[in-house]
Every structure is written in structure tokens, then in C-alpha cells.
């Protein structure tokens, strides 16, 4: 009698339980994958700015606003005075622009929600990539089609290395492209 109970516990009940736990973890892992990688992250912004309108329809160059991108590490979120280059005149009556003007006049920065982020211990450099003619779309997706900006690709180390290792496959539009550096101190220091 004692023996059979022990057998049942070891041979059936334990594996079954472990299976249920493992399955739930695996399911959770895959289901929550995009969330953990932030793919699809599109928080509400303080001003409903549309990249589709500005970059898409009006075809304003990315670098008109993101001035740092070819010069240095950061792309730079534009300061309010860049917006006001146009909006002191353009669409002054729209509620979102009134909000923007208010920020400008009160001399307050706009607290934009951050979408794309690499961890603090990784030192990503925009200018190196842009000056090698890598298109913004390759990492940020087709921003020109986005009314609300969201992250479309994971910003994990795997994603970085994927491209660094197989540049011809990942960025086929560049004819002459070298492999990116794979050594640690290229990004970590």
C-alpha cells in the first residue's frame, strides 16, 4: 500500500505538476515576448504628434528635427523651439498646437514618453550607424506610416548582434557594408 502511493506520487503526480508549471512558464514567455521586448509599445504622448503627417505626408526630413543623429550619439528629441519654427504660424488654432504653444510660452519642456531605449550600460551611437548610410527604418520601422509612434523591433543585444553579424542579410540595400564590431567594448564600457 505504502509503496503504491509513493509510486503514484513520483511517477504521475510530480511529472504532471512539473509539466503544468513548465508549460505555463513557456506559454507566458512566448505570449509576453513582445511586451518584454517592448515591441508594440505606444504610450500616450503629452501632445498627439503624428509622424505620419509630418514625415509621411509633408515629407519633412528626419534630420530637420532629430538634428543630432548624424553628428553624435543621441538623435535628440527636438526642443520646443524647433516645433515653433513652423507652428508660430502653422495651424495655430488646433488644440494640440495650442498645448504646444503653451509649453513654449511657459518655457517648460514637453515630457515626451520614451519609446526606444537601450540599457544604460550599452552605449549606442546614432552617428556611427547613420553615417554608414543605415536607414532609420531598419531599426525604428516605417515611422512615416505611424500616427502614433511605437516600437516595432526589439532593442535587445540579440537584435544588435543579428545585424552586426549578418549585415548583408539584414540591410540588403547597402552594397558595401562591413560586419559591425562584435567585441564587448564596442558598446559596453
Partner 1 sequence: MSDLTNKSGKKEFWKSLNDYNDDPGMQKKREDEFLENVTEEFNSENLSGISRRKFLALLAASTAVTATACSDYRDKGEIIPYNKRPEEVFPGVANYYASTCDRCASACGILIKTREGRPIKVDGNPDHPVNQGKICAKGQADIMSLYDPNRLRQPLKLRSEISWKKADEEIIAALNESVSQNKEIALITEGVTSPTAKKVLDDFKKRYATAKIYSHKLVNDESRKNAWLKSYGTKEYPTVKFDKAKIILALDSDFLGNEGNYLQNIRMFTSKREVVGKTDFNRLYCAEGRMSATGMMADYRFRVAPDQQLDFVFSLMNELNKMNPGLISDSLLKNKISDKSIYKFGDKEKLNHLLNDLNTNRGASIIYAGDTLPEEVHVAVNFLNEMLGNKTLYDYTRTIKSLIDETPSEDFSKLASSMKNGNVGVVIHFDSNPVYTLANEFGYEAALRKVKTVVSLTEEENESSAAGIYSLPVNHPFESWGDANVYRGIYSLRQPVIAPIFNTRQKESVLLAWISGSADSYNEDIYHQYLIKNFEESVFNNKNTLSDSKTFWYSALHDGMVQSDESAAESKFNPAALASVESKNNPVGYVVHLTESYFVGDGKFANNGWLQETPHPVSKVTWDNYAALSPALAQKLSVEMNDLVEVEVKGKRIIIPVLVQPGVEDRTINIELGYGRTVIGEAGKNVGVNANVLMHLGSASYILSGASLKKSSGNHLLASTQEHHSLDDAFVKEIHRTRKIIQEGTVEKYKKEPGFLHEEKENLFSITTDHQYTGNKWAMAIDLNKCVSCGACVTSCNVENNIPVVGKDQVEKGREMQWMRIDRYYSGTPEDPIVSNQPMLCQHCDNAPCENVCPVNATNHSPDGLNQMVYNRCVGTRYCSNNCPYKVRRFNFFNFRDHFADAYYENDLTSMANNPEVTVRSRGVMEKCTFCVQRIMEARSNAIRDGKTVSGSDIVTACQQACPATAITFGDANDPSSPIAKLREHNLSYHVLETTNVKPNVTYIAKLRNTHSEEIV
Judged by the rule CB under 8 A, the positions of this chain that interact with partner 1 are 13, 17, 20-21, 23-25, 27-28, 31-32, 35-36, 38, 40-41, 43, 67-68, 70-74, 76-82, 103-104, 107-115, 117, 119-121, 123, 125, 127-128, 131-132, 181, 183-186, 188-189
Q: Provide the minimum distance between the beta carbon of 100 and partner 1 in the complex, in angstroms, as a whole number.
A: 11
- Closest CB to partner 1 among 11 and 57? 11
How many Å apart are CA 82 and CA 97, to the nearest integer?
13
How many Å apart are CA 62 and CA 173, to the nearest integer?
19
- Closest CB to partner 1 among 27 and 53? 27
Q: Provide the minimum distance between the beta carbon of 106 and partner 1 in the complex, in angstroms, as a whole number.
A: 8
How many Å apart are CA 137 and CA 152, to the nearest integer?
10
Q: Which of 45, 65, 38, 68 is nearest to 149 (CA)?
A: 45
**Any residues with CB less than 8 A from the CB of 42 and at least 6 apart, and which?**
115, 148, 149, 150, 151
Spatial contact of 88 and 37, defined as CB atoms under 8 Å apart? no
Q: Provide the minimum distance between the beta carbon of 7 and partner 1 in the complex, in angstroms, as a whole number.
A: 16
- Closest CB to partner 1 among 57 and 77? 77
- Closest CB to partner 1 among 32 and 166? 32
Amino acid at each position: 500500500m505504502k509503496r503504491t502511493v509513493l509510486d503514484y506520487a513520483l511517477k504521475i503526480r510530480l511529472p504532471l505538476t512539473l509539466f503544468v508549471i513548465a508549460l505555463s512558464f513557456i506559454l507566458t514567455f512566448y505570449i509576453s515576448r513582445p511586451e518584454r521586448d517592448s515591441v508594440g509599445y505606444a504610450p500616450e504622448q503629452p501632445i498627439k504628434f503624428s509622424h505620419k503627417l509630418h514625415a509621411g505626408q509633408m515629407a519633412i526630413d528626419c534630420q530637420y528635427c532629430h538634428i543630432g543623429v548624424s553628428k553624435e550619439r543621441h538623435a535628440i528629441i527636438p526642443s520646443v523651439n524647433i516645433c515653433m519654427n513652423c507652428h508660430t504660424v502653422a495651424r495655430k488654432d488646433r488644440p494640440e498646437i495650442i498645448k504646444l504653444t503653451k509649453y513654449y510660452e511657459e518655457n517648460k519642456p514637453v515630457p515626451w514618453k520614451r519609446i526606444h531605449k537601450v540599457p544604460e550600460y550599452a552605449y549606442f551611437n546614432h552617428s556611427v550607424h547613420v553615417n554608414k548610410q543605415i536607414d532609420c527604418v531598419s531599426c525604428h520601422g516605417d515611422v512615416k506610416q505611424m500616427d502614433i509612434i511605437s516600437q516595432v523591433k526589439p532593442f535587445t543585444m540579440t537584435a544588435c548582434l543579428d545585424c552586426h553579424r549578418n549585415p548583408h542579410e539584414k540591410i540588403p540595400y547597402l552594397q558595401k557594408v562591413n560586419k559591425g564590431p562584435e567585441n564587448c567594448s564596442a558598446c559596453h564600457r
